[in-house]
Amino acid sequence: MANIQGIAILDSVVPPGLPASTKGMRCAQLVVRGSLKVLLFPASERIVIVGATKPEEVLEAAQYAAHYLSQLFGTRFRVLEAAPKNFVVAIDLGARVSMDCAYEALRSAGLRVVYDPEHHPALQIRLGRATLLLYSTGRGWIAGATSVEDAKRGAETVERILREKGCLRSH
């Protein structure tokens, strides 16, 4: 079974009105608790929440960031939206991937796959709205999933096909 290593939820909160003095700042990080973090990007007025696996954690992190910003700048910030739009998930299949075998197996299973090793070393696999970049190490990223469950299902589908076709080798 694919190991889902990390989850980041992007564009979950857009705080308006950050002070002009922060516009040159590239990124600031707040640790909410454990691996749940908030990355602030003042120039684009975006917040990225990393380490959340549930909508409640997204809301918790967004509220934490709004509270922190309110205290820091003396202006009341509020959470405008805390609904996850895009999950980026790191995966590890726990085995090396024979790339040519995987390309053929996934295409024959009806998935849209691009593999051009001269330009990019990963298989680019479309999973509905999401895309999986899968490297020969068996590790990769799913970007664009609308939920953690969608990302897991996509990773498990790819892993099942690759195992059935003998495209995975032990490390």
If DSSP codes are grouped into helix, strand and coil, which group holds residue 43?
helix
CA distances from 89 to 8, 24, 149, 154 (A): 7, 29, 11, 11
What's the pLDDT band for 114 if we cut at 50, 70, 90? very high
Specify whether 17 is located in the same domain as 60. Answer: yes
pLDDT attached to residue 83: 66
Q: What is the 3-state secondary structure of 115-156? A: CCCCCCCCEEEEECCEEEEECCCCEEEEEEECCHHHHHHHHH
Specify whether 66 is located in the same domain as 92. Answer: no
Torsion angles phi and psi, residue 29, rounded to 5: -120, 135
The pLDDT of residue 78 is above 80: no
pLDDT attached to residue 101: 97
Specify whether 99 is located in the same domain as 162. Answer: yes
Specify whether 97 is located in the same domain as 34. Answer: no
Q: Which domain holds residue 28?
A: 12-73
Q: What is the Cα–Cα distance from 160 to 165, expressed in whole angstroms?
A: 9
Q: What is the arithmetic mean of pLDDT over 8-17?
A: 42
Lowest model confidence (mean pLDDT) among 12-16, 73-77, 146-150, 155-159: 12-16
Q: What is the Cα–Cα distance from 21 to 76, expressed in whole angstroms?
A: 17
Specify whether 67 is located in the same domain as 129. Answer: no
Specify whether 49 is located in the same domain as 94. Answer: no
Q: What is the Cα–Cα distance from 16 to 156, expressed in whole angstroms?
A: 39
Largest CA distance in the chain: 60
The pLDDT of residue 104 is above 90: yes
Number of domains present in the structure of the chain: 2
The pLDDT of residue 106 is above 80: yes
